Amino acid sequence: MGRKSLYLLSVGILLAYYVYTPLPENFEEPWRMMLFNTYLKSAVHLATFLEMLGLNHLMDSMMIGMSFDEVPPTSDENVAVTETTFNHIPVRVYVPKRKSEALRRGVFYIHGGGWCLGSAALKGYDSLSRWTADRLDAVVISTDYRLAPKYHFPTQFEDVYNALKWFLREKVLAKYGVNPERVAVSGDSAGGNLAAAVTQQLLDDPDVKIKLKVQSLIYPALQPLDVDTPSYQGYSHFPVLSKSLMVRFWSEYFTTDRSLEKAMLSHQHVPVESSHLFKFVNWSSLLPERFIKGYVYNNPIYGSSELSKKYPGFLDVRAAPLLADDHKLRGLPLTYIITCQYDVLRDDGLMYVSRLRNAGVRVTHNHVEDGFHGSFSLLNFKIGYRLINQYISWLSENL
């Protein structure tokens, strides 16, 4: 074999090693996932390299790449699309063009992206909002919010909460022809976190007279205390969202200080004086048996109180809705939760399902056995359309 052939063979082997990703047998479209994951890994590696050189923050570089997938607010034959602000927060408004004799449903949607990435303008979210508005004959508000690393908690929460409160005003709902008794809040991933958090917050707000009818949480991130649950362990390197990336997202939500990220990865970020909070996220008692099998629950390792004093947000219920006590949970509305088997955040959603049901809240749980994180908004995968159809069908029946 000549030197050139040996070189080409070596390059081919390295390329195959980089592209190939072992996937479960029940995974739909495996090669599509491998190609997508190769693109995603390349983007993350490039952004990481630029960060190591001190040229740009990891999240800023990734956001630049994502911006190429944004689309303008263009109306079509079925839905009118406009941009405006709700209490100074940018939102996109989707209104069906067909006339309606009755007041419409209202859906307030919060995009994902680890509190660092994403926007309502991304093609996947724009398509989701159009389909929801058209098929439900609903007014859809798709909100933006300020992102890390420039802004940290509670900015993201406050932006979403202020925009939602604005939408829930009687005269605003009347302006858009929305029935005040048929309003939902929805979100995926970090957006699911924010949806759960603002829904809890509304319960204690005397200024809000209009109550949400339902909340829809799509593979939500609900707690940063225990990042060693069975799903974090079992799918730590699974495509789209690895454990290390999710921990980086959590850390960036609160600070650019990488010491919090390091402490989270070593499970030493929670101080002993906050040990009582672990009862709310104890997966050994909250997960169904089949998700626990083969895993051993280890008692928490406590760290110093220095990080929690500097960055108290990671112990705040507004950032970690699973930390809400049962009294708070009892007042929550009808809930729809999607969890995906191949997702580090799977167990956050499963624990919330258990806690809500234990508190007497009506919950519809859709566990997707072949699902992965991001499948709801990645419309180049067949599973994305399936999950969206299930989500819209549930809203049609319950909102």
Residue of 210, 214, 192 whose CA lies nearest to 202: 210
CA–CA gap between residue 134 and residue 129 (Å, rounded): 9
Helices (H) and strands (E) in the chain, counts: 16, 8
Residue of 121, 112, 122, 126 whose CA lies nearest to 156: 112
Pairing of strands 138-143, 89-96: antiparallel
**What torsion, rounded to 10 degrees, do the Cα atoms 220, 221, 226, 230 define?**
40
Q: Do 74 and 129 form a contact (C-beta atoms < 8 A)?
A: no
Choosing from 186, 189, 251, 308, the catalytic residue is 189
CA 399 and chain centroid, separation: 21
Residue of 190, 204, 188, 122 whose CA lies nearest to 153: 190
Note if 189 is an active site residue. Answer: yes
What tokens were used for 158? 């406050």
Within 10 A of 261 (CB to CB), how many other CB atoms are there?
A: 20
Element (H, E) at 179: strand 178-188
Q: What is the largest CA-CA distance in the chain?
A: 79
Amino acid at 213: K
What tokens were used for 294? 């083969």
- Calculate the alpha carbon distances from 26 to 104, 243, 277 in Å: 39, 22, 36
- Calculate the alpha carbon distances from 387 to 92, 106, 233 in Å: 22, 20, 25
Q: Do 287 and 367 form a contact (C-beta atoms < 8 A)?
A: no
**Angle at CA of residue 156, ends 358 and 179, nearest 5°:** 65
Tokens 């958090």 -> residue: 197
Q: Which residues are identified as catalytic?
A: 189
